[in-house]
Amino acid sequence: MNRRSFLTAAAAGLVTQAAGPLTSPARASASRALKGDPFTLGVASGDPSTGGFVLWTRLATDPLGGDGRGGMPARDVDVDWQIATDERFRSVVRTGTATARAGAAHSVHVEVDGLEAGREYFYRFRSQGRLSPAGRTRTTPAVERPLRFAVAACAHYEHGYYTAYRRLAEDEPELVVFLGDYMYEYGPSGYTALAGRVRTHTPGKCRTLADYRLRHAQYKSDPDLQHAHATAPWLVAFDDHEIENNWAGLVSSTGAPGFARRRADAFRAYYENMPLRRASLQGAVLRVNRRVSWGPLARFHLLDTRQFRDDQACLDGVRAGCDDRLSAKRTLLGSGQWSWLESGLRGSDARWNLLGQQIMMTQRDYKVGPGREVNLDSWDGYAPERTRLLGSLAATSNPVVLTGDAHMHHLADLKTDFDDPDAPVIAKELIASSIASDGDGYRDRTWIAEAVAENPHISFIDQRRGYLMARLDRDELSVDYRTLDYISRRGARAKTAHRVTIPSSAQARA
Ligand SMILES: [Fe+2]
């Protein structure tokens, strides 16, 4: 059975059905039967290391049960888990039992270590006599090994079907980097795409822990999303919409009271629904800035550009004439994360250093013709810190910046001075379009030509939905900008609209 047939079979339940029960006995507390299948939200894995990864599931017999509890009783439930080296689970290498706590929305996070480096594993759960779908994951290599990875962001559930997640899975990445707006907080039609909506959010804007849990359950019920999670480990980081549009630190963009409480609840629900390590949830702080290495080849530096930032300058928005954005006192990363990043870049012995972060780093003038209007929510609103970061990247081995948020593919040169055509290029910024946000895409060639003319350091823009598929080895990073022509109906193919190949600096000099 090859990989694709494994996934097809797993999706159809054939692999798990053929494979006999897990060996670990159920505990007494789990003996009262649940009504229905508890694995309706699928399985996931994340944050791989040389010895392991995080395995995730969340039990919900009725995902949209109304109170965010997914139809589950107010008691803890035991969940057995199993890891094998083959998709039929004939060669099981690790088993255990975890407790899905009622207080954690019956989520399960199993942190596995001590496995073999650089290999594929299969995992599944069992609870109440039911088997979960099987997932595929992998440990990172200890030696230099090429990497195929995907980059994705922004998946508004109402705006379209998740065909892009399905196509991403079919491209068989070994790792998926997700850069924010995994879910959106708006109530039904609170944010509409041009073509309207193809399905409807759970009622109301997310405000309470129950609201966020319910919304996550709705998103996780999608079979295409479940398929993408079951294909490879993910590195996830949130942006704004997992909490609220354009929040900054402890400041709500709407000025509504009680934001600290809401943020803590949204963080908690996010953790409960993602394959993150337990250490990421630190009281009211959710720490997602972290590093993951792929042997000596690559190091991912995941950033958090929301939680520790100063409020947006000049009341946010896209506008001209905001001197505040040029204040060196303002920070996007916060001092703690800044020091962490600086020392991590300086100390990195990886050949490639990939920054995974949320918002557009390149300068972007939105005004056609004389004058300049910039998006104060992006790095343009924190320009001096960007200059300092580019200075650090200039001293780093093969830096590349990976970005979400824009809902359009972009390829840009990051420069010390964006207004100087002769200024050196420090790194490429690769911006992934959205999985679903803004609905069916299009190509407005006039608009693109104007945008590129206004911003000569940006060489490619595509307004269709999609994701990035990258191949990395010691000599080059090759990236396909994958696009889909529509998502208002199911079944669109993914095409490569553009390919960029970035040679390593050592290779470029050779
Ligand atoms: Fe978004």
Query: What is the 154 CA–ligand 1 centroid distance (Å)?
Result: 4
pLDDT of residue 406: 97
Query: What is the 458 CA–ligand 1 centroid distance (Å)?
Result: 20
Query: What is the 86 CA–ligand 1 centroid distance (Å)?
Result: 37
pLDDT of residue 195: 86
CA gyration radius for the chain?
22
pLDDT of residue 14: 38
Among the residue ranges 102-106, 238-242, 253-257, 326-330, the one predicted with the least confidence is 253-257
Q: What whole-number distance in Å separates Cα of residue 486 and Cα of residue 272?
A: 31
- Percent of the chain whose pLDDT exceeds 90: 90
pLDDT of residue 13: 40
**For the residues 108-124, what does the mean pLDDT come to?**
98
- What is the Cβ-side half-sphere exposure of residue 176, based on CA atoms within 13 angstroms? 32
Among the residue ranges 34-38, 102-106, 431-435, 447-451, the one predicted with the least confidence is 34-38
Asked whether residue 336 carries a pLDDT value surpassing 80, the answer given is yes
- Residue pair 407/154 in contact by the 8 Å Cβ criterion: yes
pLDDT of residue 66: 74
**For the residues 204-213, what does the mean pLDDT come to?**
97
Contact residues for 77 (Cβ-Cβ < 8 A; gap 6+): 29, 30, 34, 38, 59, 99, 100, 102, 106, 127, 128
Contact residues for 103 (Cβ-Cβ < 8 A; gap 6+): none
Query: What is the 201 CA–ligand 1 centroid distance (Å)?
Result: 16
- What sign does the CA torsion over 223, 160, 304, 292 have? positive
State the pLDDT confidence band at 339, using cuts at 50, 70 and 90. Answer: very high
pLDDT digits (tens, 9 = 90+) for 56-97: 999 999 999 879 999 999 999 999 999 999 999 999 999 999
Closest CA to 238 of 154, 331, 149, 360: 154
pLDDT digits (tens, 9 = 90+) for 374-416: 999 999 999 999 999 999 999 999 999 999 999 999 999 999 9
- What is the Cβ-side half-sphere exposure of residue 498, based on CA atoms within 13 angstroms? 19
Query: What is the 366 CA–ligand 1 centroid distance (Å)?
Result: 18
Pairing mode, strands 318-319 and 53-58 = unpaired
Query: What is the 333 CA–ligand 1 centroid distance (Å)?
Result: 19
Which residues make up the environment of ion ligand 1, defined by Cβ < 5 Å? 154, 181, 437
Query: What is the 94 CA–ligand 1 centroid distance (Å)?
Result: 38
CA distances from residue 215 to 20, 30, 68, 222, 225 in whole angstroms, order as listed: 34, 27, 8, 12, 14
Query: What is the 153 CA–ligand 1 centroid distance (Å)?
Result: 7
Query: What is the 108 CA–ligand 1 centroid distance (Å)?
Result: 27
Query: What is the 406 CA–ligand 1 centroid distance (Å)?
Result: 7
Q: What is the four-CA torsion angle of 176, 342, 422, 410, rounded to 10 degrees?
A: 20
Residue type, 501: T
Asked whether residue 479 carries a pLDDT value surpassing 60, the answer given is yes
Q: Which secondary-structure segment (H or E) carries 140? A: none
**For the residues 460-464, what does the mean pLDDT come to?**
98
pLDDT of residue 26: 42
Among the residue ranges 100-104, 254-258, 497-501, the one predicted with the least confidence is 254-258
- Residue 282, classed as helix, strand or coil, is strand
| Average pLDDT in the chain | 93
- Residue pair 133/39 in contact by the 8 Å Cβ criterion: yes
State the pLDDT confidence band at 166, using cuts at 50, 70 and 90. Answer: very high
Asked whether residue 24 carries a pLDDT value surpassing 80, the answer given is no
